[in-house]
Structures are given as structure tokens and as C-alpha cells.
Chains A and B, each alone.
Chain A
């Protein structure tokens, strides 16, 4: 569904939208270091707070004696889980997992906040006080190896706690939880019949590596209360660092939204990790108890949550001689994580993913979700849906088996745009492939058959995804014309996708202005926020803003006619009479906006600057969302804007070293909205993909359950020297549902197996991610 429902959805000429190199509105603040993030705030008279964190992977505090800690000079407050203030706390943050007490005496991963909070004059005193707590721990059995945790004789780490899936399919049809394992099953079609139809059956496994976003800015907040009679009785709450909307904090502390203030505009990297950390939630309570501002921030080690949890997948796929898939049997064992972890990445993946892009309808997904003490994952991630590359692998393996090009196998299996029964090709996919083959000089070869002149083995891989459309978030857009200037009020904070800028470009486009002419007003009290996903939320909010801009435009043109017919009386009734308006006798539909003027359509030379043409203050609002949400219609069952990614590697079979020679992305975002940040998003997802396939991994000490590398030295993120060239090409089929037929890009190109498949294509054996040299050599039988 293209943007047919909105105003100017099929606009052909663009002056502003799509333009590169327009600086972000907040880029100067960011580049020069004056931008303040949550943990940057230092306010007078501020106290500091620290949580007790568990040294054990799973433990219970039997008792804690705070006497010595309280005696330390500079300690102001110590609260335990038994305090009524803590017992009454309830989080409204976006965890989406099984709720649990906000803070109790049980820690279910090493480093988890547990039991006690200390407030003191400094972080140093907090740390000393934590050392002086006399804590009696009961160490409980832990699970950091989910394959061990699923065994019948494994210790049950959460007895009495119900099944993990909160958002998963299956419901009552799922078997009851057994031991540490919850079940989430989704079956469609007739799997047995599908396998009967098959000429071939392949079986394979793939490992989804755990992956950390470890957001650049460690989570933290500072909060204080103050008298504010203008917004009703009672104290108002000021918090910085809670990020995103204030709604969650407002609800948590039962403070009206208008009395909850967060002025800061910078929330740092999110990568769809929207969950509030305890350090972001607790400061209002501590500030209330102490009567002083309180700051609580995590260290880097304390900010190392999962962006993707590990999963072992076992696939059995039946297909015909021509490569058409007839049945898919997907069994997976997924890390359920610590209690409260998001069910995105486990059962949340089952209702959307690669299989629904296939014509095959005989699909069985069975998932075991294993409770573990590995750590937390909040809400979502860049690799969502995490299981996508199980489909990429199926296509590759079928191609290998049939000695065919995987692109051809994908084409055979991909259903048409409207449903799984649609036999037509997807225009966006075909366009991407046509261009990508040229860029790649695509010449597929079977695994292990191509040697480069330098002796290394060459491998290549391909995957497709659909560009995400976003329509489940509503947006309330408001635009104002005052003294000839168009204002776009929005609340912060921003997180790096240039969503505000994209919206401003749409306003400029629709109102005949330049990007710089649209004055963005950041005000936390404004309802509009373009946040609601990454690029998909950006384009969705831009659709709403486009509608709002056209309402404002109509009002401007009507006002121009009205003021031409009935000029407002001059403030000082002397001097020369005003010039007669060129719009007199015309109708609003005779006018247009261009170059900051109201013009006559039939004679654009007759133009009056906005400030002169319209004296009145005009406000336009639009509340809504773009039409047709792909996710609500069945993710993958409709296909419009697609993207393709390719990878070429060289593998040194003597050293095991893998070099990514190039990434190539040919994507159809529907319509390019803001070119420079679109390119940058592609760089980002390929960087994420490279990291999890070649470098990044969590390492645990299985004996103690302690995570060994939650720091940026031993957890390896790619550096500028590691990243390969990313060649990007964009097509504009205008087939998306958001502004001008745009879609997002966001998660869709992030992948777990594009590089891994290329490695297999090079050396003919599988290496689980991250494919470090030792693992490559081991796979080759050389280590």
C-alpha cells in the first residue's frame, strides 16, 4: 500500500525531502560536547545513590545489617527491599516481560540490583557503605548454559513462577511449564502433508549469538522535587535521564504529567532498547526521602544488557526439485533470560519472521524458552525479528543442494505482494535484485570452489528482508504560523535517527519553505514526538506531519484570501494605505505556497511573503497514524518495500582469519526521506551484523555464573579499522505506507548469518558466530 490516503502522497517533485547533508537540528550541540545526557547532570546539593548488586548469578539475601554502613560519615539514607516505599514501587517502563517486585531480595543474574540502595554525599561514600553492609547471602543454583538448563535433572531456578511467554502465541495450547522450560508453539498448515509433498528434505541448525548493545551512555538519572503552584497543588518532579516520554515516571510516582518535567533532549543510543533501568526510576523516590536532588547512574559494567539473547535453532525443511519449500519444521531453544526479560527475541518472534514471506504455509514453530541467570534483555533490538536468517539459511542450503543460485531459490519461494497466495512477483524485490546483481557483479559459485589470487577462499552470500512499516504508534502533530514563520513544536529527547529533522523536511516540502525555515521548538510539554520506532517510526510520524502541514497550508491560503478581502486594520491608522492584495477576488484553491510566499498558481510572479500575506496566528493539528499497519496485517504476509544485502568474504584457511571484503546493500525504503541518515543507518546495521558474527560474544564462568567480559576491552566491538566498505544503493518504488510511500529501514538489514553464510560459501563448513579464527580453524579440522 503506497501513500495513497494522505495529502500529496504521490508528490513527484521534491525540493527538500531526500536532500543530503542537511545538518541535524541538534548536531551542533552533540558535536561540540555541550549536549547533556542523563548522567552528565550535576546540580547543586546533589546526593548520589548506588544499588547493592549481586556478586552471584543467583542468590537470595537472607539478612542484611546496615549498622556499619549507616555509621559512615556522609551516608544519608539506606533503604532495603523491606521498606514500604520500595514495596509500593511499581514500574511502568517498557519491559514487556513477566512482572516482579520492583526490588526484592532475590538476584537472578550477576550484577543485578538487589535488596539495598545507599544514598550518600558522593559515589565513593556509597561504594564504601555498600562494602560495609553485612549481607548474608544464600547462593542459589544458577543456569547460564541453557542447554544444561533445559535438562530434566537441571536445578529449577524459578520454582512456582509461571511460563515465560507473555506475548507469545499458543496460549492454553502450549504444554505447561516443566522445570526451567516454558513452551511456545505456533502451527499453521499441515506439516506432515508438506513433507510428503517434498522431493528433498534438509536439516540444519543455527546459533543466534547473544549480542550487547551496551548503550553508549550508561543509564542514569538525577531527580528533585520543587514547589510549582502554577501546575496545581503538591510538588513537581524534575527528572533528567529518564529518557523518552515522561509518562512512565509520571505514572510510577503518581505525579500528573504536567507536573513531571524532563527538559533534556538527549537520550543517547537506544537501538530499540526502551526499558527503563532502575537507576532511571529510583531517583524521584530517593529525592523525596532526602529532600535533595539525587543522582543514580550505572557504571559501564552495569550497563551491559542483551540486545539479542542466544537461541539454538534446529530446522527441517522440505522442498521440491525446483526449490519450492513445502514444509518448515522449526524447533528452537531460546534463552528466556532473567525474570522480567522481554519476550521479543523469544516467543515474540513467532508471529512474524521469515517464514511468512514464503509461499509455503505448512509451518511448525516450537520453542522451548529456558529460564536462565544470564542477564536481562529489555524490549527489542536491532536484529528483530531475531530468527530471520533461519529463512536465509534455508534458501542458501536449498541452493547448495540443487546447485542453483540462492537468488533464484528466494524468488521461487517469495510470495506476492498481497498475501501468501499471491503468485505475482514483488516489484520492490525484483528491482533490488536487478540492481544488486549489477553492483555485486553477482556470479554465484558453490561452496568451497573459488580461490582468490592471494590463496584465500572466496565466499559470497545474499539475504532479503522487508523494510518495516510502522503504524501502531499514533502521533499528535501541531504546526503554527506566527509572523510569517512556521513552527514545529515537538518534545524531546532524541536518540539519533534524525526523526525530528525528517519531519521538518516534510513540513518544508509541503509549505514551500526551505528546511532551515522551519523552526523546531523543543518543549517537553508538547504532545508530538516522532519517536515510536526508528526509521519506521520516523516515516510514520512524517506521514502525520504531512497531513498536518497540509491542514496548515489550507488554513494559510484561506487566511490569505480572507485578509485580502478584509485587510486587518493597521495598528496605527495613518500613513499610506496598504497596497491592494493580488489575491483579491481569488479563492484559496487559486493560491499556492512557494519560496516562503503565498503565490497565485496561474501567475507565480504574483507572490506575497508569508508574513505579509497572513497576519493572523494559525495553528493546525492532526492526530493519527498512517494507514495499514503491516505488523497488524501479518508481518511478512504482505510485501511491499524490500531490501537486499550481500556480503563477500575472504577466508584464510591457514590462519582462520575472515576478512569481509565488502557489504553491498540495495534497499528500497519506498522513498528516501533524509539521505544522509539513511546511509548512516545502513552503515550501522551492517556494523552490528559484523560485530555479532565475527567478534562479539558473552563469556560466562559456568561454575559461578559470572559474566566475564561485560566491559569494552574484553567484549569486542568493531573499531573503525575493522569495518569493511559498505556500498549502498537505494531505490524508490514509493510502495510503503508512510509519507510519500516511504517505509523504514531500522532493524531489517541487521542480520546474524549473512557473514556466516559467506564463510560457508568460502570453505564449505559451518562456523557458529562469532566466527573467530580459532573457530574457523576448528571447523576446518585444523585446531
Chain B
């Protein structure tokens, strides 16, 4: 299965996309996150064979093509779900994880691949209200489900106090694992808007920060919770 971005622009690399990923303010980050959600491709317009690049108008033709030309290969499957409020349909191989699908099909890179074994929490997303490890979740398991990623949280002004608090307290060093922490923190605050330090530590126990920023997170989350209780 090709891992080319489905946003096919004839091989042209747009430098604007490469610069995407730099934001100096919450507003800029919020706007970029919103733009990333907006550019999630919704419905599949055609079905490209990832092996030989032939394109088909309907899925059945792709299936026939596989039967004729690539009989030993696994036929890609269609999966539909809702990501950050947007319905979308993707064509993937059945063994693809949700993390891989988010990155390669939907262009969302906030769910980070770190351990690939469900050990570190960097790829955490929220599915139907629960924090879930997207590197351990097959995308086909998500059919019909609602998925919230860090981009969805970042684009929602409600969570500005949480993002602000993380930035004020340097609750990140290299920052690679940080989105996973924030998603877990958001899921915690959803169900417990006023957590104690102990409850925060329990909630974040599945997130590993190799830079060792742990003490910062509870400080940031408690500050955010207070601000949100006061109306943001």
C-alpha cells in the first residue's frame, strides 16, 4: 500500500506545506490546527492502486484489478470515521494502525509515533470520549467512530488555557511526546474538571517523557483547570 499523501498534487511539493508546523502564538497554532482539519480529505474520489499507480473510478474496479494483477497482495479496504468533527473516508491496508492512517492518509502528524508498542502514549487520541493509543489501534476498528486528535483540541478555543499553561510552564523540552500528554490531559479534564495532583499523575501514567518533564505537567494541568473553571 502506498503511503503517499492522498492529497495528490502531481508530485509537486508545495513549500507552504513544509513551513506548516511553525507557530509563535496560540492563535497561530490554533489556526494551523484548524487548517489541518479543514484539509482532511473527506470522500474518496478515486481508488489508486498503490502498487502500480493505476487509478479506478469505483472501489469494485480496484478489487477486480487486484484479483487480476496482484492476486497475492492484500486488497486495500475503505474505512469511514469522523476525525475532529469531520467525516472522512480512507483507503488503507487492513493492518494499518490509526496513527499511520492519520499521518499518511489525513495529513495529521500530532499523534506521534514513538514506541509503536503502546508503551509511551505519544500517539494518544480520544475515541468516543476515551483516550486510546493510536499505534495499537487498527484503523479498521475505528469504522463509524468519532476520533479527536491533538489538532482538534488545539483548534478548539475552549482548550486555550491548557495549551497556554503547558507553554508557560515549559511542560515540554524537545516536545515530541507533548501532544500525547495534552490529549490525555484533555480527556482527564473532560471527566474530571478539577483533578488533584495525584489524579493527574494517575491519568498521565501511560505517557512517557524521555526529557523528564513530569513535574511540569501536573502544575500546568492544575493551572489550566483553575482558569477553565473561572471561565478561561
A interface residues with partner B (beta carbon < 8 Å): 21-37, 39-46, 48, 73-74, 121-125, 213-218, 224, 226, 238, 240, 263-270, 292-293, 299-300, 495-498, 520, 522, 676-677, 680, 683-688, 711-713, 717-721, 723, 725-726
- Pairwise interchain contact B115-A21, C-beta atoms closer than 8 A: no
Known: A31-B175, A217-B174. A712 touches B114 (CB 8 A): yes
Near A by CB (< 8 A), chain B positions 4-35 give 4-5, 7-13, 15, 17-26, 28-30, 32-33
A42 surroundings in chain B (CB, below 8 A): 3-5, 103-104, 107, 109
A32 to B116, CA, bound (A): 21
- Pairwise interchain contact B217-A720, C-beta atoms closer than 8 A: yes
B168 contacts A by Cβ under 8 Å: yes
A215 to B10, CA, bound (A): 35
- Pairwise interchain contact B208-A719, C-beta atoms closer than 8 A: yes
Known: A28-B167, A44-B12, A497-B173. A36 touches B3 (CB 8 A): no
Contact among B93, B109, B167 with A33 in the assembled complex (CB-CB below 8 Å)? B109
Number of B interface residues in the complex (CB < 8 A): 91
A215 surroundings in chain B (CB, below 8 A): 210
A240 surroundings in chain B (CB, below 8 A): 18
CB<8 Å pairs between A and B, sample of 23: A30-B178, A31-B154, A31-B166, A34-B23, A37-B176, A43-B5, A43-B18, A73-B51, A73-B73, A265-B21, A266-B174, A266-B175, A268-B174, A292-B11, A496-B211, A688-B212, A712-B114, A712-B117, A717-B208, A718-B212, A719-B206, A719-B208, A720-B201
Contact among B20, B53, B212, B214 with A36 in the assembled complex (CB-CB below 8 Å)? B20
- Pairwise interchain contact B175-A32, C-beta atoms closer than 8 A: no
Near A by CB (< 8 A), chain B positions 152-206 give 153-154, 163-164, 166-179, 182, 201-202, 204-206
- Pairwise interchain contact A300-B210, C-beta atoms closer than 8 A: no
A268 to B176, CA, bound (A): 6
- Pairwise interchain contact B205-A269, C-beta atoms closer than 8 A: no
- Pairwise interchain contact A44-B5, C-beta atoms closer than 8 A: yes
A293 surroundings in chain B (CB, below 8 A): 13
- Pairwise interchain contact A23-B167, C-beta atoms closer than 8 A: yes
A719 surroundings in chain B (CB, below 8 A): 205-208, 214
Contact among B12, B29, B212 with A28 in the assembled complex (CB-CB below 8 Å)? B29
B174 surroundings in chain A (CB, below 8 A): 216-217, 266-270, 495-496
B144 contacts A by Cβ under 8 Å: no
Contact with A along B112-148 (1 / 0, CB 8 A): 1111111110100000000000000000000000000
B111 contacts A by Cβ under 8 Å: yes
A31 to B104, CA, bound (A): 21
Distance (whole angstroms) from the CB of B38 to the closest CB of chain A: 13
- Pairwise interchain contact A30-B172, C-beta atoms closer than 8 A: yes
Known: A217-B114, A218-B113. A269 touches B21 (CB 8 A): no
B215 contacts A by Cβ under 8 Å: yes
- Pairwise interchain contact B52-A34, C-beta atoms closer than 8 A: no
A725 to B218, CA, bound (A): 12
B89 contacts A by Cβ under 8 Å: no
Smallest CB-CB separation from B122: which chain A residue?
A: A216
Distance (whole angstroms) from the CB of A216 to the closest CB of chain B: 4
A30 to B167, CA, bound (A): 9
A41 to B113, CA, bound (A): 12
Smallest CB-CB separation from B163: which chain A residue?
A: A31
Smallest CB-CB separation from B218: which chain A residue?
A: A720
- Pairwise interchain contact A44-B32, C-beta atoms closer than 8 A: no
Interface of B is mostly: loop
Contact among A46, A270, A495 with B3 in the assembled complex (CB-CB below 8 Å)? A46
A103 to B149, CA, bound (A): 40
- Pairwise interchain contact B120-A33, C-beta atoms closer than 8 A: no
Distance (whole angstroms) from the CB of B146 to the closest CB of chain A: 18
- Pairwise interchain contact B179-A31, C-beta atoms closer than 8 A: yes
Further contacts, 19 of them, CB under 8 A, given A34-B20, A34-B23, A266-B21: A23-B167, A24-B167, A28-B23, A28-B24, A28-B25, A28-B29, A29-B175, A32-B30, A32-B151, A33-B112, A33-B149, A122-B1, A216-B177, A266-B174, A680-B216, A684-B173, A712-B117, A713-B115, A723-B212
- Pairwise interchain contact A45-B154, C-beta atoms closer than 8 A: no
B50 contacts A by Cβ under 8 Å: yes
B114 surroundings in chain A (CB, below 8 A): 216-218, 300, 712
- Pairwise interchain contact A25-B213, C-beta atoms closer than 8 A: no
Distance (whole angstroms) from the CB of A489 to the closest CB of chain B: 14
Distance (whole angstroms) from the CB of B100 to the closest CB of chain A: 9
A215 to B113, CA, bound (A): 12
A721 to B119, CA, bound (A): 14
A603 to B13, CA, bound (A): 57
Smallest CB-CB separation from A715: which chain B residue?
A: B119
Contact among B7, B10, B172 with A31 in the assembled complex (CB-CB below 8 Å)? B172
B202 surroundings in chain A (CB, below 8 A): 721
Smallest CB-CB separation from A496: which chain B residue?
A: B173
A73 to B71, CA, bound (A): 12
Smallest CB-CB separation from A72: which chain B residue?
A: B51
A27 surroundings in chain B (CB, below 8 A): 166-167, 170, 172, 175
B150 contacts A by Cβ under 8 Å: yes
B70 contacts A by Cβ under 8 Å: yes
- Pairwise interchain contact B175-A30, C-beta atoms closer than 8 A: yes
A719 to B119, CA, bound (A): 10
B2 contacts A by Cβ under 8 Å: yes
A32 to B113, CA, bound (A): 15
Contact among A30, A122, A688 with B50 in the assembled complex (CB-CB below 8 Å)? A122
Known: A28-B29, A34-B32, A73-B51. A124 touches B163 (CB 8 A): no
A520 to B24, CA, bound (A): 9
A721 surroundings in chain B (CB, below 8 A): 201-202, 205
- Pairwise interchain contact A124-B1, C-beta atoms closer than 8 A: yes
Which 3 A-B pairs give the minimum distances between C-beta atoms?
A33-B110, A30-B175, A687-B212
Near A by CB (< 8 A), chain B positions 88-113 give 93, 103-104, 107-113
Distance (whole angstroms) from the CB of A23 to the closest CB of chain B: 4
Smallest CB-CB separation from B10: which chain A residue?
A: A44
B119 surroundings in chain A (CB, below 8 A): 711-713
- Pairwise interchain contact A711-B117, C-beta atoms closer than 8 A: yes
- Pairwise interchain contact A683-B21, C-beta atoms closer than 8 A: no
Distance (whole angstroms) from the CB of A717 to the closest CB of chain B: 6
Distance (whole angstroms) from the CB of B46 to the closest CB of chain A: 15
A124 to B19, CA, bound (A): 28
Distance (whole angstroms) from the CB of A122 to the closest CB of chain B: 5
A48 surroundings in chain B (CB, below 8 A): 3
Known: A31-B178, A44-B8. A723 touches B51 (CB 8 A): no
B36 contacts A by Cβ under 8 Å: yes
A685 to B52, CA, bound (A): 50
A28 to B24, CA, bound (A): 6
Distance (whole angstroms) from the CB of B196 to the closest CB of chain A: 14
Distance (whole angstroms) from the CB of A263 to the closest CB of chain B: 5
Among A43, A213, A238, A726, chain B packs the most CB atoms within 10 A around the CB of: A43
Contact among B4, B50, B52, B150 with A44 in the assembled complex (CB-CB below 8 Å)? B4
Known: A31-B182, A122-B50. A683 touches B22 (CB 8 A): no
- Pairwise interchain contact A29-B3, C-beta atoms closer than 8 A: no
Contact among B1, B13, B30, B179 with A43 in the assembled complex (CB-CB below 8 Å)? B13
Distance (whole angstroms) from the CB of A525 to the closest CB of chain B: 14
A74 to B4, CA, bound (A): 13
Known: A30-B175, A497-B173, A687-B212. A300 touches B11 (CB 8 A): no
A687 to B215, CA, bound (A): 10
B179 surroundings in chain A (CB, below 8 A): 30-33
A497 to B21, CA, bound (A): 19
Known: A35-B21, A44-B10. A269 touches B214 (CB 8 A): no
Known: A26-B24, A224-B13, A712-B115. A33 touches B150 (CB 8 A): yes
- Pairwise interchain contact A123-B3, C-beta atoms closer than 8 A: yes
- Pairwise interchain contact A263-B18, C-beta atoms closer than 8 A: yes
A490 to B230, CA, bound (A): 39
A224 surroundings in chain B (CB, below 8 A): 13
Contact with A along B28-69 (1 / 0, CB 8 A): 111011001000000000000011110000000000000000
- Pairwise interchain contact A677-B4, C-beta atoms closer than 8 A: no
Distance (whole angstroms) from the CB of B210 to the closest CB of chain A: 5
